[in-house]
Amino acid sequence: MVGIPQTPDAVLASARAFFDDLNRTYATVHRTKEDLFWSTYMATSDDHDGFARAENAFKAFVSDPARLRATRDHLAQLAGIVAMPASQEEARDAVVHGLRGWLAVFEANIVDNDEGRDLMRQIVEAEAELFTKRKAFEPRHVNERGETEVGTLSTLATNLATNPHEDRRRSSFDAFREIERWVLTNGFLDLVRLRNRFARALGFADYFDLKLRKNERMTPAELTAILDDFLARTDAAATRSLADLRARHGEGALAPWNVRFYSTGDVVRRVDPYVPFGLALRRWVESFRRLGITFRGATLQLDLIDRAGKYQNGFCHSPVPAWTDAGGTWIPSHINFTADAMPDQVGSGQRAIVTLFHEGGHAAHFANVIQNAPCFSQEYPPTSMAYAETQSMFCDSLLGDADWMVRYARTASGERMPADLVRDRVTARQPMRAFEERSIAVVPCFEAALYAMPDESLVPDAVIALARETERRVLGLESPRPLLAIPHLLNQESAASYQGYLLAHMAVYQTRAYFARTSGYLTDNVEIGPALAQHYWAPGNSVDHDATLRSLTGEGFSARYLADECNRSIDEAWGRAEASMAAADARTYPDRIPASLDADIRVVHGAELIADSSRGEDAMCDRFEAWVRERY
């Protein structure tokens, strides 16, 4: 128990000292974990044991019952002060605000019994062992040149979507299925059992129930109602899209190794020259600046290119969360984000720029949280995944807009993407909108059922059967991205959390509708960055997702905007695209855009520094483009 000071001054001083210690200790523990996370996941270090120790230290901090009790005690003592000089009320309110942030962290992460703490330690160690083994597993496929090569998740997905040879696409799909079998026979099912034991030790039905309640403050029944409503709203459009593919290309188009190619592959290949990999960095910098997005002095480290041993999925983590310390000094964030592009592969430029906008959206969010403790500006609970993903997905949604394409999609020689290719892209993508969103929904449908299985039923064949049945029920066919090849399922931070992406997409289209309604356009709208910074980013996790939506749009969470987007006909979608292109060409854009992103940017390839912004962002982009030309 915290001792009870006798005077208001002493109460405040004691609470302030405790609060400052929480901030300093967390900043150290968090950075140690995140630096090791980056080096091991980027394959510049093999210190997996060190990372596991740092991960356990971080978990011990955020789930410490003693810190939870002390936080509650200090808040109670501050609330018990009946009289305080007006000059001290502001200081008291700031400490109360910060301690409430820490209270939310501890309550979201607390493991309040010895069994739970021991199981968490086992989970961290088991995941580190699985990650180490997974790095050594190298499935192979046949690329577009007819060469057999090791396939990463990125190259398999891109080959599956763009390779004109069916047998080569089939080789990528078979590699995904091989990953599934490997995962199921190398410890994943033991992890599922451990996670469930951990959840039940804390009083939850299973791990999915725990993650949903902790991360999204939602019950399984509430999520099921949202998923069922969305699936019902989009069922007709999804059925129509598959029937259209079958009518145009034959029954074979619905084979899981063909559906991506026949729905988008030819268009992806034709778009490719207008979205070259080397220009992705420049287009991200310019587009974010014209949106009015800045990073408040953050340090950004970007690792964009695939290589052996590197983690095969984009992510954004912040070793140093943004906050204002006890002395009023602004602590800018340090943020790492990564892509896994192969610069010489068709579609790599599109994949790279989507990752830059997506992970760059996360970075903009976390860099712009303006609170008095680091707990408000980090990606772990109580930060809602749906809230965090709304920021990144809003940014990457702009890349599908016709006005963005006509302003930014250019060949290396400056040739603009023609309107007929924009039309063909809309024609190819719009019928599959419902399918793509349901491809997100299929993951939580599967994970909810997976964690509900009894331990004795968790055997490879039964889990594979569950995955295929769920894919067919939600998608109408077996998924081109087999469920158990999705890396999110392997890591406790992202496991049982994928529903956040769908909830975020719902919020994204609600946000887009607001800007379209109030400004008339999104691409290069310099008002967007400041509006997002004020309403979505500044409070961090001090408010919930619904409150941020209400702050900006004036209405609570709604799924109807996304469903409406999925249900539009090709003619409706093209009519909107055509109008946006005409308006973009006629519009006079304001010239008050930020001079820079206000960030110290380093672009690396493992331990190699490719380029940085020390001489300006344009010079950084020049150097990056030269580096890509020299090697690819």
For 226-265, how does the pLDDT look when each residue is reduced to its tens digit (9 = 90+)?
Answer: 999 999 999 999 999 999 899 989 999 999 999 999 987 6
* Region label for 129, one of left (φ > 0), alpha (ψ between -120 and 50) or beta (otherwise): alpha
For 86, residues 6+ apart whose C-beta sits below 8 A from its C-beta are none
The amino acid sitting at 507 is A
- Give the residue, 542 or 6, on which the prediction is more confident: 542
Query: How are the residues of the chain apportioned to helix, strand and coil, as percentages rounded to the nearest 5?
Result: 65, 5, 25
Record the tokens describing residue 17, joined without a space. 């000292």
Section 388-395 average pLDDT? 96
Record the tokens describing residue 539, joined without a space. 């409070």
Number of helical (H) and strand (E) elements in the chain, helices listed first: 25, 9
The predicted structure's pLDDT at residue 367: 98
Section 140-159 average pLDDT? 92
Record the tokens describing residue 340, joined without a space. 């896994």
Report the alpha-carbon distance of residue 609 to residue 302 in Å, rounded: 10
Record the tokens describing residue 478, joined without a space. 């077996």
Adjacent-strand bridge partners of 599: 298
* Region label for 229, one of left (φ > 0), alpha (ψ between -120 and 50) or beta (otherwise): alpha
Report the alpha-carbon distance of residue 209 to residue 217 in Å, rounded: 10
Confidence of residue 1 (pLDDT cuts 50, 70, 90): very low
Confidence of residue 591 (pLDDT cuts 50, 70, 90): confident
332 φ/ψ angles, rounded to the nearest 5 degrees: -70, 150
Confidence of residue 215 (pLDDT cuts 50, 70, 90): confident
For 414, residues 6+ apart whose C-beta sits below 8 A from its C-beta are none
Section 64-72 average pLDDT? 95
Considering just the CA atoms, what is the radius of gyration of the chain in Å?
A: 25
* Region label for 560, one of left (φ > 0), alpha (ψ between -120 and 50) or beta (otherwise): alpha
Residue whose pair of structure tokens reads 């998923």 in the numeric block: 227
Helix (H, G, I), strand (E, B) or coil at 67: helix
The beta-carbon contacts of 166-174 under 8 Å, at least 24 apart in sequence, are 166/252, 166/257, 166/258, 167/142, 168/141, 168/142, 168/143, 168/144, 169/257, 169/258, 169/261, 170/257, 171/140, 171/141, 171/142, 172/141, 172/142, 172/257, 173/256, 173/257, 173/480, 173/482, 174/141, 174/257
pLDDT at 544 over 80: yes
**pLDDT tens profile 308-337:** 889 878 899 999 999 999 899 999 999 999
Residues in the chain: 632
The predicted structure's pLDDT at residue 381: 87
Report the alpha-carbon distance of residue 16 to residue 14 in Å, rounded: 5
Report the alpha-carbon distance of residue 364 to residue 328 in Å, rounded: 22
The amino acid sitting at 206 is D
pLDDT at 46 over 70: yes
* C-alpha distance across the termini of the chain, in Å: 63
pLDDT at 623 over 50: yes
Helix (H, G, I), strand (E, B) or coil at 620: helix
Record the tokens describing residue 159, joined without a space. 């080959």
The predicted structure's pLDDT at residue 351: 85
The predicted structure's pLDDT at residue 333: 98
Lowest-confidence region among 380-389, 576-585, 613-622: 380-389
| Residue 170: alpha-carbon gap to chain centroid | 28
The predicted structure's pLDDT at residue 504: 95
pLDDT at 531 over 50: yes
Helix (H, G, I), strand (E, B) or coil at 189: helix
110 φ/ψ angles, rounded to the nearest 5 degrees: -65, 135
Helix (H, G, I), strand (E, B) or coil at 134: helix
Section 402-429 average pLDDT? 94
Q: Map 356-386 to HEC letters.
A: HHHHHHHHHHHHCCCCCCHHHCCCCCCCCHH
Residue among 548, 473, 464 at smallest CA distance from 239: 473
Record the tokens describing residue 597, joined without a space. 């992103």
Q: CB count, 10 Å around CB of 9? A: 13
pLDDT at 349 over 50: yes
| Beta-sheet pairing, 334-341 with 315-320 | antiparallel
Report the alpha-carbon distance of residue 304 to residue 457 in Å, rounded: 40
The predicted structure's pLDDT at residue 4: 54
The predicted structure's pLDDT at residue 3: 57
Section 85-105 average pLDDT? 93
**pLDDT tens profile 467-517:** 999 999 999 999 999 999 999 999 888 999 999 999 999 999 999 999 999
Section 535-559 average pLDDT? 94
Section 131-156 average pLDDT? 91
Share of the chain above pLDDT 90, in %: 83
For the chain, give the mean pLDDT. 94
Helix (H, G, I), strand (E, B) or coil at 205: coil
For 630, residues 6+ apart whose C-beta sits below 8 A from its C-beta are none
Residue among 212, 240, 207 at smallest CA distance from 224: 212
43 φ/ψ angles, rounded to the nearest 5 degrees: 65, 30
pLDDT at 98 over 90: yes
The predicted structure's pLDDT at residue 84: 78
pTM comes to 0.87
The predicted structure's pLDDT at residue 81: 84
Report the alpha-carbon distance of residue 589 to residue 579 in Å, rounded: 17
pLDDT at 371 over 50: yes
CB burial of residue 251 (10 Å; 0-12, 13-18, 19+): exposed
Report the alpha-carbon distance of residue 94 to residue 89 in Å, rounded: 9
Report the alpha-carbon distance of residue 442 to residue 439 in Å, rounded: 5
Report the alpha-carbon distance of residue 352 to residue 284 in Å, rounded: 10
The predicted structure's pLDDT at residue 110: 86
The amino acid sitting at 405 is M
Section 526-548 average pLDDT? 96
CA distances from 142 to 257, 346, 356, 436, 485 (A): 13, 14, 27, 25, 18
Residue among 479, 450, 470 at smallest CA distance from 191: 450
Record the tokens describing residue 136, joined without a space. 């050594």
pLDDT at 395 over 90: yes
pLDDT at 207 over 90: yes
* Region label for 530, one of left (φ > 0), alpha (ψ between -120 and 50) or beta (otherwise): alpha
